[in-house]
Homo-oligomer: A and B are copies of this chain.
Amino acid sequence: MSDQLHPGYEPESPCHYRRALEVVSSKWTVLVFYELEKGSKRYSELRKQIEGVTKKMLTQTLRQLERDGLVRRTVYPTVPPTVDYALTPLGLTLIEPMRMLHRWTEAHYDSVLQSRRAYDNEPAPEDAAEPDLAAEPD
């Protein structure tokens, strides 16, 4: 338990914007959420669905979500251990806000990418005399 997901900048974030992200913004959290949205799943299930996640990070993410009361962990005392994860009622309330972000991305992510490309093509606006359109040849 050496790894804590959230470093201790402050005991509690003063801003509600930050508090929300504090709960959600981990790399794998959203993906776990996305999977559990569809229903409860086993540990190995999650590992298969969430490509690229290591056991360590998956466990760590799930533990944090459990600690925050967003996910409930159920252990069945079978001979090979069986552990089931599901969203709690509290966790379910987060689905709506996350869907909002989801829809925003669907609607505007192209614009973001476009803006990034445009930005990356402008070398360095040291002298803003006249806009030079000859950025790159065709």
Contacts and interface: CB of A to CB of B under 8 A. Distances in A.
Contacts of A111: 69, 90
Contacts of A115: 67-69, 90
A22 to B, nearest CB: 9
A51 to B, nearest CB: 8
Nearest to A20: B101
B19 A109 contact: yes
Nearest to A34: B17
Contact of A106 (B16, B66, B75, B116): B16
Contacts of A59: none
A118 B90 CA distance: 15
Given A34-B15, A112-B69, A97 B101 contact: yes
